[in-house]
Structure 1
C-alpha cells in the first residue's frame, strides 16, 4: 500500500485525536468473490474520510459492514472503542441510532410529505417526543439544509438536488455522531453538486460530525475530505490528503485523475 501520512495545514483541517471508527483486518467474501481482503483504517472524531474506488472495489460493502447490514467473515470493527462485530440486533440498533445515512437517491417515502418523512424517522428513533418537539426538530432540520418552504411538499414535487437535501435533513434530525454519505453528488448537475458539497462542509463545521463519504466525484472528494483512502481489490491501496494522492506516481492511482 502506498501511504501518505503527513498532514498539511494548508490542505486539511485539524481533527480531534483518537479514532471514532476503526476497521481491523476485515475480510468479507460472497462465495469465491473476495470483496474485502483484510481492510484496515481509522476515522478520527470530527474527521471527514472519503472512500474512493472503482465499482466492485468494496466501498459499499465497507459501509454495510459498519452499520451491521452485512456480517464480516474475519476481523473487527469498532465504534467509539466498542467492538460491534458480534452484537445482537438490539445492540446494533443502539449503535445505528448514532449514525445518519444519506442514500444516493435520497430514499424518501414517496407516499409521505416532507414533514411526514422527517417525523417518521424521528419517531422511529424516539417514541417519547411530543408533537411540539417533533415540529421544532423538523423545522430546525429543514432550516439546516435551506428548505423550510418544502415542508408540505411531496417527494414527486422536488428536484433531484432538493430530494438530496431532504434526505440529508432526515439524516440530521436524529442528531447523529456519524454521517455516511453514499454518492452525495451522484446524478446532480454541476451547480447543484457544488451546493451539496458546501452543505456537507457546513454540516461538519456546525455539528462536528464524523463522516464517511463514498464518492466517484473528485471535486466532492477534494473539498469535503480531511483524508482519503482509495480501495483496490478489497484493500486500501493508498491513503492521504487529496493533493498528495492527486500527485501519486502510481499509474493506477493516476488513472483516477485523467481527464
Structure 2
C-alpha cells in the first residue's frame, strides 16, 4: 500500500479551470433499436484519473471511442481541450488525436513487427523529421518508462499478456500524450500482473502528468488508480463519486460492484 500513498496526488481541482474533456448529452444507437448511449454527461479534469464502471454493453468503450472519432455519435457534444471534436476538420481532429493516447484491450501491436519497429512506426507516422538516432532514443525512453527496455528486439508473439499490455502502453506514451484512454487495461491478466499494470498507470500519471479515463471491470484497478469513479447504467451516468463513497452508496446496484 506504500506505492499507493507514494503516487496518488491530492484530489484538488482549480474551480476556474475548464475540464480537459467535457461530454454533454451523448447518444448512440446501433441498428434500429439498440440504444447504447442515452444522454451521457461526463467531465475529465486536468491531472485526474477517472474510472468508468458498468456492466457489459453499458456503453463504456463506445463513449471513449466517440472521444477520438472511432465511433460517430448520433447526438451530443464532445469537447477536448475546449474544442468540439464533432464540428472540426479532419486535420484539426488529427492534431488533437496526437495528444490522446488510446490503449486498446489487446494492446493492438502489429504482429509482423518487432517491438522496436512497432514503436518506431508510430513515432515516424506523426513525427517525420526525426533522425534514426532520435527515433532510437525515443523508443528506448518509452520502453524504459514501462520497464521493458530489454524486450526491444522481441516479436509480439514472444511476449506474455502483461508484456503486450506494457508494450502497447509504451507505444501510446511515445507521442507524449496529455490524455490517455485505457480500455480494460488489466483484462485477461493474473492478479499480480494486473496490479503491476495498475501501478504503472499511476507511475505514468506521476511522471508524465497525464489525465486519463480508465474503463475497467477490475475493482482492484479501480480502487488503486481512481481519483473519481462514474457508473454507467442503461446508457446514462447512474452514480458518481470516489471509490470509498460509492462503496457505501445507498443504491444496492451500485454497491454490487464493490462486493
Decide: shared fold, TM above 0.5.
Answer: yes
Task: Give distance in 2, aligned partners of 1:151 and 1:33.
Answer: 43
After TM superposition, give the deviation of residue 15 of structure 1 in Å: 4.5
Which residue matches 1:241?
242
Which residue matches 2:25?
25
Which runs of no fewer than 5 residues in structure 2 stay unpaired?
1-7
CA contact (8 A) 1:230 1:236 kept: yes
- Is the partner of 1:161 in helix, strand or coil? helix
Which runs of no fewer than 5 residues in structure 1 stay unpaired?
1-9
- TM-score of the aligned structures, taking structure 1 as reference length: 0.93
After TM superposition, give the deviation of residue 229 of structure 1 in Å: 0.4
Task: Judge which range, 11-20 or 240-249, deviates more.
Answer: 11-20
- TM-score of the aligned structures, taking structure 2 as reference length: 0.93
Q: Root-mean-square deviation (CA), in Å?
A: 1.4
- Is the partner of 1:39 in helix, strand or coil? strand
Answering whether residue 132 of structure 2 is matched by residue 127 of structure 1, we say no
After TM superposition, give the deviation of residue 28 of structure 1 in Å: 1.2
After TM superposition, give the deviation of residue 13 of structure 1 in Å: 3.1
Q: Deviations over 1:192-217 (max 9, x none)?
A: 11110110001000011010000000
**Match for residue 14 of structure 1 among 4, 12, 15:** 12
Task: Give distance in 1, aligned partners of 2:38 and 2:48.
Answer: 24
Which residue matches 1:7?
none
Cα 1:129/1:136, change in 2 over 3 Å: same
Q: Deviations over 1:101-141 (max 9, x none)?
A: 11111111111000000000001111111111100100100
Task: Give distance in 2, aligned partners of 1:120 and 1:93.
Answer: 17
Which residue matches 1:106?
107
Task: Give distance in 2, aligned partners of 1:242 and 1:67.
Answer: 27
CA contact (8 A) 2:27 2:38 kept: yes
Which residue matches 2:139?
138
Answering whether residue 132 of structure 2 is matched by residue 162 of structure 1, we say no
Which residue matches 2:4?
none
